[in-house]
Amino acid sequence: MKGKIVKKNNVFYVRTISAGKELDEIELEYYPLSLTESNVELVEGKEVEFGIKSVSYTDLKGISSELVEWAIVK
């Protein structure tokens, strides 16, 4: 996949843009950038190739969990 590096609220993401069937249908998706698995220069607006790694996080009590899709820059 291709995306651009963006910074929101002091966190880096990889943003993808896809257009729908109608001209006014634009969908933005933001994937948090995994800094532990990516060796990339953090420059806003830089276009990158990336893959997605899904990680499930469970709270300490084991009651709830959350699936996070991380961007791994190639």
CA 48 to chain centre: 11
Q: Please give the model's pTM, rounded to 2 decimal places.
A: 0.79
**CB 4 within 8 Å of CB 49:** no
pLDDT recorded at residue 19: 74
Q: If you write DSSP's letter for every residue of 19-42 in order, what string do you get?
A: E-SSTT-EEEEEEEB-TTT-----
pLDDT recorded at residue 27: 85
Helix (H) or strand (E) holding 68: strand 65-73
pLDDT digits (tens, 9 = 90+) for 5-61: 999 999 999 999 887 776 677 888 999 999 888 888 899 999 999 999 999 999 998
pLDDT recorded at residue 23: 67
pLDDT band at 68 (very low <50, low <70, confident <90, very high): very high
Alpha-carbon distance 31 to 47, whole Å? 14
